[in-house]
Amino acid sequence: MKTLRVSLPAGAPGYPIRIGQGIMDAELRVLAEPWARELVVVVTNETLDRLFPSHIPEALKGLPARIESCVIPDGERYKTLETLSRIYDRMMALGANRQTLLIAFGGGVVGDVAGFAAGTFMRGIRMLQVPTTLVAQVDSSIGGKTAVNHPLAKNAIGVFKQPEGVVIDLRFLETLPQRELRAGLFELIKHGIIADRELFAFLEKQVHRLVRPDWANDGAFWEEALTRSVAVKCRIVESDETESGPRAALNFGHTLGHLIETLTHYESYLHGEAVGVGMLFAAYLSRAWGHLPESDFGRLRALLEPLVAPVRLPALDEAAFTELLLHDKKSAQRSVRYVLLRGLGEVFIRERTEPGEIWPVFRQFVREHATICQVQAA
Ligand SMILES: NC(=O)c1ccc[n+]([C@@H]2O[C@H](COP(=O)([O-])OP(=O)(O)OC[C@H]3O[C@@H](n4cnc5c(N)ncnc54)[C@H](O)[C@@H]3O)[C@@H](O)[C@H]2O)c1
Ligand SMILES: [Zn+2]
């Protein structure tokens, strides 16, 4: 087992992150013990409740608190104010108060909505995160961002809420659908690309273990890969808790990724899949503009290309591309901050990048990588 610690500024206590295979029972118990006095509410979804029934109550057996659950429906479309409201209803019905401990047990959707509930119920109660998808383990459970969606915009309503601790157990990845695992790999690899060249090299050498893990034998590799990837996220979050500066590096691959998600109405591709194509394009752009050496581009491409899920986009002209990149048509700002690479492990932000500069490179990318990113003819 590995332990990382997130330190927060201004006297706020930091919190531990435990990473390992089969560690949940023992570690959750240790982290919950100081807070599990009267009531613990486990927020989870229907899928996890079916796969791992009473897993958490078993782990916490013997602690003085009563353990109750709050099960929400499965899916991004339930990441809403309505679901949040149902969580408050359940907490009220259970007699929750400021001493109640909340445990978020699930993927990024559960983590985001349960985190929001913990950040706002009675002005904030203590919370532990037990992430069960790869996306949640390397990304959403760390950093304290929580949110629900507004019908007009994803993640539009939220608060910053840090947990008391995070338990990352590889064992949960064993039941994760292959497509979800694959999509999560891009966020894991992203941390190597933006800030840790050695992590990139480590992953590049053992890519077969990423794609089709043999859980009985690959535990040590995954523990190391997750720990290093999570360490990057922790470092960036620590340097910029509320997202004013360096945290923007985490958006590597996300500019085109968001465009792909919006253009396909969030229905065709998982977030990680869209970001995978976006990462390849951001590297392509970095090379085209003379920032990224050919050799580093070649390595990045060799690692990502076999993992990428090809996307097919509806017809797209420069005007539509521009509006999508700028998100908000009314926005006075006619440029974006593009996250680019100088090398593996070294990002920078190119301020005031205009869609008109990106468009010809995007067209070239689509021509050269038709198997990865196809755009329908108008
Ligand atoms: N807060 C942040 O910083 C942050 C960062 C990245 C993503 N997010 C958010 O996270 C969400 C995406 O998270 P996600 O990719 O984990 O999706 P998800 O939570 O929808 O989980 C994906 C699917 O896997 C199932 N699942 C979860 N754990 C499982 C397991 N162990 N075995 C089998 N099935 C399992 C879920 O029920 C769901 O059907 C998005 O809403 C995104 O906005 C937040
Ligand atoms: Zn992302």
Q: Tens-of-pLDDT digits for all 378 residues of the chain?
A: 999 999 887 767 799 999 999 999 999 999 999 999 999 999 999 999 999 999 999 999 999 999 999 999 999 999 999 999 999 999 999 999 999 999 999 999 999 999 999 999 999 999 999 999 999 999 999 999 999 999 988 999 999 999 999 999 999 999 999 999 999 999 999 999 999 999 999 999 999 999 999 999 999 999 999 999 999 999 998 887 555 567 889 999 999 999 999 999 999 999 999 999 999 999 999 999 999 999 999 999 999 999 999 999 999 999 999 999 998 655 668 899 999 999 999 999 999 999 999 999 999 999 999 999 999 987
What confidence score (pLDDT) does residue 8 get?
Answer: 81
Spatial neighbors of 23 by CB under 8 A, at least 6 apart, are 1, 167, 169
What confidence score (pLDDT) does residue 152 get?
Answer: 87
In sequence order, what E strands does the chain have?
2-6, 15-20, 39-45, 66-72, 101-106, 126-131, 148-150, 153-157, 165-169, 311-313, 336-343, 346-353, 373-375
Ligand 1 atom at minimum distance from 79 CA: 41
Ligand 1 lined by 132 (C-beta under 6 Å): yes
Spatial neighbors of 233 by CB under 8 A, at least 6 apart, are 138, 139, 142, 143, 191, 250
Alpha carbon of 50 to ligand 1 centroid (Å): 16
What confidence score (pLDDT) does residue 329 get?
Answer: 52
Ligand 1 atom at minimum distance from 184 CA: 15
Neighbours of 63 (CB within 10 A): 17
Return contacts of 272-276, CB within 8 angstroms, 24+ apart.
272/135, 272/182, 272/183, 272/184, 272/185, 272/186, 272/187, 273/182, 273/183, 273/186, 273/308, 273/309, 273/311, 274/311, 275/186, 275/187, 275/190, 276/183, 276/185, 276/186, 276/304, 276/307, 276/308, 276/309
Ligand 1 lined by 48 (C-beta under 6 Å): yes
What confidence score (pLDDT) does residue 39 get?
Answer: 98
Burial of 94 by CB count in 10 Å (0-12 exposed, 13-18 middle, 19+ buried)? middle
Instruction: Find where tokens 């999508």 sit.
Output: 324
